[in-house]
């Protein structure tokens, strides 16, 4: 059934009705309850797993621009995730930003957010062009818009050139919702793995809320890439 659907995805001209029906038919009822609990999304869940969504995104590449301009992206978590994965396949920064500005306000869960941000490799080679977009994200009141910006900072802006300014930027975030705090904690951990002395100094003076700081410390202590000595030392900064 999957191969038949992938053939529909590749077909030109793109058949929107056949695509939607075929996509829904891929539903895996045995996965729905588990996925809905883990992802914690208000959208409907079909139970289609990420590897399958990646195959679909790849198959849709011949129809990429047509599909991204369709209006069927609501209702299902998997469609929201697929839309993000398709955006990551675009190769022109301005077009990517155009679609992201339409996409990220629809985010309602951490999984779609993180998968899209993690696959958005175009940012790595166009860091300056995405800075303003990310600044707007991290200062947004919407939980997953803000998280999207934090995850992009963590994924692509912790190199030697940007790590210091990235840590400064997360101090300006006023959004203290749960998934934003978790993303900031994750970023702090990744920053420690890149430059522990700079991160120690940052934690000593930061005004970031205690939930995010403690989550970062927890992740550092859970990491297999951190020595026992550093795991003990980092406890000094727990709040």
pLDDT, residue 74, reads 85
pLDDT band at 236 (very low <50, low <70, confident <90, very high): very high
Mean pLDDT in residue range 30-50: 97
CATH of 128-239, one of 1.10.3470.10, 1.20.1740.10, 1.25.10.90, 1.10.3720.10: 1.25.10.90
Mean pLDDT of the chain: 97
Three-state SS for 219? helix
Summarize pLDDT for 105-147 with one digit per residue, the tens.
999 999 999 999 999 999 999 999 999 999 999 999 999 999 9
Confidence of residue 159 (pLDDT cuts 50, 70, 90): very high
- Name the 3-class secondary structure at 3: helix
**Reported pTM:** 0.97
pLDDT 10s digits, 180-212 = 999 999 999 999 999 999 999 999 999 999 999
Give phi and psi for 62, each to the nearest 5.
Answer: -65, -20
pLDDT tens readout for residues 73-101 = 988 999 999 999 999 999 999 999 999 99
Q: Please classify residue 91 by burial: count the beta carbons closer than 10 Å to its beta carbon, then call 0-12 exposed, 13-18 middle and 19+ buried.
A: exposed
Please report which confidence band the pLDDT of residue 46 belongs to, taking 50, 70 and 90 as the band edges: very high
Indicate whether 26 pLDDT > 90: yes
Structure-token pair, residue 233: 């030392």
pLDDT for position 183: 98
Structural tokens at position 159: 């190199």
pLDDT at residue number 107: 97
Which band of pLDDT confidence, cut at 50, 70 and 90, is reported for residue 7? Answer: very high
- List the chain domain ranges: 1-89, 128-239
Helix/strand/coil for 44: strand
Cα distances (angstroms) measured from residue 184 to each of 50, 78, 95, 155, 174: 24, 25, 28, 12, 12
């Amino acid at each position: 059934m999957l191969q038949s659907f992938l053939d529909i995805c590749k077909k030109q001209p793109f058949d929107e009705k056949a695509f939607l029906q075929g996509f829904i038919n891929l539903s895996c009822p045995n996965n729905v309850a588990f996925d809905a609990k883990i992802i914690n999304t208000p959208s409907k869940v079909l139970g289609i797993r990420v590897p399958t969504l990646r195959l679909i995104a790849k198959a849709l590449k011949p129809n990429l621009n047509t599909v991204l301009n369709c209006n069927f992206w609501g209702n299902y978590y998997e469609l929201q995730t697929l839309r993000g994965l398709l955006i990551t396949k675009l190769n022109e920064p301005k077009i990517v930003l155009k679609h992201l500005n339409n996409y990220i306000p629809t985010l309602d869960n951490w999984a779609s957010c993180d998968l899209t941000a993690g696959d958005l490799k175009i940012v790595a080679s166009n860091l300056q062009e995405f800075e303003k977009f990310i600044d707007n994200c991290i200062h947004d009141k919407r939980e997953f818009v803000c998280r999207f910006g934090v995850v992009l900072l963590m994924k692509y802006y912790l190199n030697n050139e940007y790590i210091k300014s990235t840590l400064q930027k997360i101090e300006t975030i006023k959004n203290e919702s749960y998934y934003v705090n978790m993303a900031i904690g994750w970023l702090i951990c990744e920053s420690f793995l890149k430059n522990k002395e700079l991160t120690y100094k940052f934690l000593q003076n930061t005004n970031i809320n205690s939930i995010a700081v403690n989550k970062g410390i927890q992740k550092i202590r859970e990491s297999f890439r951190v020595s026992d000595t550093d795991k003990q030392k980092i406890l000094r900064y727990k709040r």
